[in-house]
Amino acid sequence: MIWLAGILAGLYLGCLFGLFLYGINSYVLILLHRRHRRAALAADAAIQAGGGERPETMLPVVTVQLPVFNERYVVERLLRAAASLDYPRDRLEIQLLDDSADDTREIASRLVQQYQAAGVQVVHLHRTVRTGYKAGALKEGLAACRGEFVAIFDADFVPNPEFLRRTLPYFGDPIVAMVQTRWGHLNRDYSLLTTGQAFGIDGHFGVEQGSRAWAGLYLNFNGTAGIWRKTAIQDAGGWQADTLTEDLDLSYRAQLKGWRLVFLPDVVCPAELPVQIQGFKSQQQRWAKGSIQTARKLVPAILRAPGSWFKKYQAVIHLTHYAAHPLMLLVAIASPLLLYLDWFFASWRSLFASTAFFCLATLGPSALYCYSQRVLYPDWRRHLPYLPSLMLLGTGIALSNTQAVLEGLFQRAGDFIRTPKFAIQSRQDSWRTKQYRSQFSWTAVGELLLSAYCAIGVYLFLERGRFLIGPFLILYTLGFGYVGILTLLHSLGPRPAAVRQPSPSPGRWPIYLLVPLLGLFASVCPVF
């Protein structure tokens, strides 16, 4: 068993070190944010103050692209917000890029005719074949648009009327390719699920994006709530569909061409958070798979490009940060095995080293998320009690995101599974009797098995007095259990007769991946 313990210990320490690198980088981003924030916000204020000097007749033509697919509940809200943008009508073009296969097409057609009759320049471009998915729709729309600048809003977003007035002044710098605004939340307090998501999104936009933009690091367009210079898109090679994160891909290609991206933390674009756990998981899987695909595609070019090694290192961390989930999964699986073999954790030195790595990996992101609340909200202390909801989500989706990361390593592109939207904005709204509900995912079984497995690990750690490691396995136990049970609960109940939203993938192979690991544990641990 010594050789097995050695392999497991090496795997365990390697995963802990990887988590340490991602965790410690959260402190780096906080420091960068604190160093540059005041000067960056002062520069933004100066640009905003001078933004109104341009005569109305000299404003550029702007195209607003609205990519949608089966959005019967929110397409009207989206079109209304786009038509309400404060901008001269003769210089505003709206493209509804509609790939819908349900009655969204008829709803959208009727709405477009109404807005056209009211003098709004809006066109309805419908495709029957979703070639390239969202990237393909944006590419076809770009070829037909007449705007010098192109703003993009997904179906779950509701841009404020002043959006264009507050973003266009930054294009006075001829090397600015894109301006990204901060995501807000229409339904933050709807449930524990949406509260946890909001916490995580705030961390990304409240700290990470600002840190990267202000420190001269690689920044990314988030796929929506941003505006591009059309010539920059074309110069960077246009929209490409060989990854599931066409926005991240284009962002890096543009910056490798010498363009600059801008982030505005004080311009907020509200959005509807997913209220279904399977919708959230499919969104996270798409982002995880797509970011790893983008890393495969572009990291060699990034390493060859001009720039400091720190900038390149940050780019690699940025593009591969979803790799933390496979590392978390392996740590959760290896910890009870190592304890039962009674070799690695028998040493207090090993125990303290593991605890230190765990703390740095766990507390780094937590510190970043808490700092983001302080930066963004005057009543930030009111949000802090909801941090555990994010921690449960972050650990609970490790299995499904591991599947996505592995697919991203070995596959190109893939199916673009949309996130269902139900026009949920208050706690009185309900999604359970609406269309687009996701089907049951077998990953829920794997998550519940992992929860039980980690609970056994907690028992073993406590029984043997290794109290320093036990709390981390408790987090895994609760996280996997929370996500697995929520997936089951959200799959129950009556469904409408309309076509249902498919699961992100067959979802069975991650469970089979667990079988040999659980079998290994069963062979050495009589508690099974």
Residues 6+ apart with CB under 8 A from 217: 211, 311, 314, 315, 318
- Domain stops at, among 283, 309, 339: 283
16 lies in some domain: yes
Each of the 528 residues of the chain gets a pLDDT tens digit; together they read 567 767 887 888 899 889 989 999 999 999 999 999 999 999 999 998 886 667 787 899 999 999 999 999 999 999 999 999 999 999 999 999 999 999 999 999 999 999 999 999 999 999 999 999 999 999 999 999 999 999 999 999 999 999 999 999 999 999 999 999 999 999 999 999 999 999 999 999 999 999 999 999 999 999 999 999 999 999 999 999 999 999 999 999 999 999 999 999 999 999 999 999 999 999 999 999 999 999 999 999 999 999 999 999 999 999 999 999 999 999 999 888 877 766 555 565 665 666 676 777 778 999 999 999 999 999 999 999 999 999 999 999 999 999 999 999 998 878 888 888 988 988 888 888 888 877 778 899 999 999 999 999 898 888 877 666 667 889 999 999 999 999 999 987 655 554 444 444 444 444 444 444 444 444 334 333
Q: Say if residue 68 is in the same domain as residue 211.
A: yes
Q: Say if residue 242 is in the same domain as residue 391.
A: no
How many residues are given for the chain? 528
Q: In sequence order, what are the beta bridge partners of 94?
A: 64, 122
Helix, strand or coil, per DSSP, at residue 190: coil
269 lies in some domain: yes
Q: Say if residue 342 is in the same domain as residue 231.
A: no
- Domain stops at, among 253, 283, 313: 283
Q: Say if residue 91 is in the same domain as residue 204.
A: yes
- Domain stops at, among 224, 256, 283: 283
Query: How far apart are alpha carbons 352 and 288 in whole angstroms?
Result: 32
Q: In sequence order, what are the beta bridge partners of 180?
A: 226, 263
DSSP state of 418: P
Q: Say if residue 22 is in the same domain as residue 108.
A: no
Angle CA(270)–CA(275)–CA(280) in degrees, nearest 5?
90
DSSP state of 220: -
Q: Say if residue 150 is in the same domain as residue 242.
A: yes
CB 62 within 8 A of CB 164: yes
pLDDT for residue 115? 98
Domain extent, residue 99, equals 61-283
Number of domains in the chain: 2
Q: Say if residue 65 is in the same domain as residue 147.
A: yes
Residues 6+ apart with CB under 8 A from 300: none
pLDDT for residue 479? 98
Q: Say if residue 260 is in the same domain as residue 139.
A: yes
311 lies in some domain: no
223 lies in some domain: yes
Can you say how many angstroms the Cα of residue 101 is from the centroid of all Cα atoms in its chain? 26
Q: Say if residue 360 is in the same domain as residue 262.
A: no
Nearest to 423 by CA among 83, 96, 104, 94: 104
Q: Say if residue 343 is in the same domain as residue 254.
A: no
Query: How far apart are alpha carbons 419 and 501 in whole angstroms?
Result: 9
* Environment class of 285 (CB within 10 Å of its CB; exposed 0-12, middle 13-18, buried 19+): buried
Which pTM does this prediction carry? 0.91
SS3 content of the chain, % helix, strand, coil (to 5): 60, 10, 30
CB 408 within 8 A of CB 294: no
Q: Say if residue 22 is in the same domain as residue 102.
A: no
300 lies in some domain: no
Q: Say if residue 475 is in the same domain as residue 391.
A: yes
CATH code, 237: 3.90.550.10
Active site residues: 99, 247
41 lies in some domain: no
424 lies in some domain: yes
421 lies in some domain: yes
